[in-house]
Amino acid sequence: MMTSNEKDNLVSHGFGPVYDARSRILILGSFPSVKSREQQFYYGHPQNRFWKVLAALTGAEIEAAADIAVKKRFLEDYGIALYDVIESCRITGSSDASIRDVTPADLTPILEAGNIEERIYANGTKAYDLYMKHIYPVNGIAAVKLPSTSPANAAWSLARLTEEWQRLIGLLECIR
């Protein structure tokens, strides 16, 4: 029988990227949270502000509780590709600090299919650091570090996150 620590530290796998030929920006997280892994889609924790930030930037109505098909359609309609830097790893719960034995994601299909060019954005410091360590040496495309939408980043209000994401991404200019 496994101890609870052994269960928490099993190799976990993310889920595939969301993208199509209309993708113009790529937003990368580090690795899905426990809630997201349970739901099998990105930013599933109700306190994560990812969907609220995108709704504020686009003026569209999209919520963390929305159906996966609705979220995918929203992302595709706005030219947003979404994935994680890590395809699989050992992780305890949702703690980015516990990530070990990383298998980086292969971004080649996304970059070849979409019109992303050099518009790659990392949602948080851990995603950015992992990207620069594992993926940048392969593709040579630098990512822009965005402040994390995670509830762990409580120092940033929704308004401040939205303002910074708008400033760094220029999202509305990219997707309209």
CATH number at residue 149: 3.40.470.10
For 79-97, the pLDDT digits (tens) are: 999 999 988 776 666 666 6
81 phi, psi to nearest 5 deg? -90, 145
User: Does the structure show a pLDDT above 60 at 108?
Assistant: yes
Q: Which of 54, 61, 64 is nearest to 27 (CA)?
A: 54
**Containing structural domain, residue 83:** 4-175
Which pTM value belongs to this model? 0.86
pLDDT digits (tens, 9 = 90+) for 118-161: 899 999 999 999 999 999 999 999 999 999 999 889 899 999 99
**What is the pLDDT of the chain when averaged over all its residues?**
84
C-alpha closest to that of 145 among 122, 167, 173: 122
Task: Give pLDDT tens digits for 29-44.
Answer: 987 777 887 888 999 8
Kindly report the backbone phi and psi dihedral angles of residue 101, in degrees, each rounded to the nearest multiple of 5, phi listed first: 50, 60
| Residues near 164 by beta carbon (within 8 Å), at least 6 away in sequence | 146, 147, 156
How many domains is the chain partitioned into structurally? 1
